[in-house]
Amino acid sequence: MTLAATAAMGLWFAQAPVSNADLNTTSPVLADRNGTWLNVRTVENGRWRIKTDLDVVDPAFVEALIEIEDKRFYSHSGVDGAAILRALKTWKQSGVASSGASTLTMQLVRQYKPRPRTFKSKAIESFEALRFELHYTKQEILEQYLTRVSYGGNIEGIDAASRIYFGKSPRFLAPDEIALLIALPQAPEARRPDRNAQAAKIGRRRILKRLASAELITANEYINADTVSIPSKKEKLPQRAWLTARKLAATGSVTRSALDPHLQTNIENQLAATVEKLPHPVNASAIVVHAKTREVRAHAAIGRRDHDGGWLDMTAAVRSPGSTLKPFVYGLGMDDGIIGPDTRLRDAPSRFGSYRPENFDRRYYGDVTVAQALQHSLNIPAVGVLDHVGGRRLDAALRASGASPSQSGPNENGSDAGLALALGGTGLRATDLAMLYTAIANDGLAGPLKWTLADEMPQPTFELLQADTAKALRRVMADAPRPAGVMPMHLGRDVPDVAYKTGTSYGFRDSWAAAVSGDYVIIVWIGRPDGGPRPGVTGRAAAAPLLFKIADGLAVGDQVVRVNRPQQTQDRLKSAEEFAPVILFPMDDIEIAVSVFGAASEGIDLVVQTEASDVRLYVGSDPIHKTRDGFRFKPSAPGFYELTAIDKKGQKTKGRFRVVSSQDVSHPGF
């Protein structure tokens, strides 16, 4: 029984897993596409603990560490018997424990679970060290030790210590740096260079002498290293791209993102400068995607620190996209063959079932082309096209492309909710818009974004638009009027086109600008993180100027990418005063129920939009005179009537409506 029990204990001892969850908790690190670190985050209790990779640690340091701390590290099994006997002999002779016997493996065990410095603790650490040696290779043990060892304060591990005290990685270390990095863990707080420079220098000198005695450094190297000043200030670890780091670098390893450091710096500076000029509760965010590879080259969101929500990731927030979806409405219409860029649409007050949209500025422009309607973001033509395409189809196309609209789709009983999609009647993230506009840049093919270099090249998953349609949309959006203060495109030489669209959500809550510029797609959002309104602030006024500043800093490869088209004066959209008057009410072919006819009637208000100072109205051949309450017509009997509006230039508009008696209407509302 005793033999069996002993065998069982031995088997458990050999196979029982070592609990090292805490050992594996290391600082997440985000690197750019070139491998340069952009961001490092702390672990529990605000500690800097960067995972050590022996392949990037100076071999001279490893050799010196083994010489000083554990000469037989590669030959013992976690416990150095010879060192223990030597320590016991020294203690017996002097009565003082002046010679240590802890191996690096035993020190690692103590880092994992500190214990009082007693013989009992030493025995426990010895057994635990044996178990560590059974489960890990020597390299793994050394890497764990160099990850966890304390260097004073909240600094753990050689990588963090080297970067904070010397401002560099531990790949190449001078003799003075090697000696200090070995001396510090022996008395981490007493020898902290930033607090006790003299103690740190004395500790370093002791290590340098031992290294010289072991002939690991020369006499001249010892003298030179001893004269080097002790670093008195800590270097800061990089804290850029914090938003992307929080999104991608969740584990303690180095995550190599697709971010371009120059583009990242550009948008961070542009966002910071923009937010600094805005009222307190306003954030700004931007994403830059390399269209061909779908790599996210820049990604940032910045807000003021002195208001709630200032550090929220607004690129992942679900917000109304406003008019940024209109290119896809017209694009689906082009795919169906019902419209082209030069197709003329009627921009006038219209009703679609119970849905009666209005233009943003509540002005109407009569007959306009599809290109003009998109460039000037007119609402009525967009809703009219979507009425033919189908709101349900647009919603399905967005989802198939990888976007996640927050609403579930059009109502089962009608198209109202679906038609509102043309004007931003859903919720999307900035990352969703980046995917959708990348499809426009890639001739209509939609696919997922690529955030890290380790990700496989994302393959297009859906043909959102036909190639010719995507090219036509880019040409139309590139000809859109530029925001105030931005140089017109045709005046610039060797600069890429910026095919862009702005958007403003209902209540001025979100300001958007989205663009294809050369090789890149840019998405910009500005607004309050709490969803509060910003009266009068539009995407064109707030987001578009920032987008063009970002576009100015983009590199487009070996040559500038321009859309081939003849140089011509931009097609200007005429204002309402250059068109005939628009009859707002009563709309053409509408029926109006009245209860009393003749002089006693309350009358029907006649509403006409025109920029002319003088307009005349006729019902049939009878003039309607304007009163202080406006134009009002009192029908004498039920029947059909024709309304004519004539401005001072002689331009006229006619409409036909029918008047019925409310007694003849069975609608429950009457």
Which residues are tagged catalytic?
Answer: 69, 323
DSSP H/E element including 4: helix 2-15
Using alpha carbons, select from 185, 219, 212 the residue that is nearest to residue 108: 185
> Hey, what amino acid is at 537?
V
Question: What one-character-per-residue DSSP string does 366-431 give?
Answer: EEEEHHHHHHTT-HHHHHHHHHHH-HHHHHHHHHHTT---SS--S-TT-SHHHHGGGGT-S-B-HH
Please answer whether residues 107 and 19 qualify as being in contact, where contact means their C-beta atoms are separated by less than 8 angstroms: no
Torsion, Cα 490 495 497 498, to 10 degrees, reads -110
Strands (E) across 26-180 are located at: 29-31, 37-40, 48-49, 155-156
DSSP H/E element including 492: none
Using alpha carbons, select from 294, 232, 298 the residue that is nearest to residue 285: 298
Please answer whether residues 458 and 450 qualify as being in contact, where contact means their C-beta atoms are separated by less than 8 angstroms: yes
Strand-pair category, 604-609 with 622-624: unpaired
344 phi, psi to nearest 5 deg? -95, 135
Q: What is the CA radius of gyration of the chain?
A: 37
Q: What's the Cα-to-Cα distance from 29 to each of 190, 265, 303, 511, 643, rounded to whole Å?
A: 29, 18, 23, 33, 71
Residues 6+ apart with CB under 8 A from 487: none
565 phi, psi to nearest 5 deg? -160, 155
Strand partners, 347: 366
Within 117-260, residue ranges assigned H as helices are: 119-135, 138-148, 158-166, 175-183, 197-213, 219-227, 242-248
Torsion, Cα 313 316 318 321, to 10 degrees, reads 100
What's the CA gap between 431 and 314, in Å, rounded?
A: 10
52 three-class SS = coil
Please answer whether residues 42 and 27 qualify as being in contact, where contact means their C-beta atoms are separated by less than 8 angstroms: yes
What's the CA gap between 481 and 489, in Å, rounded?
A: 9
Strand-pair category, 445-446 with 366-369: unpaired
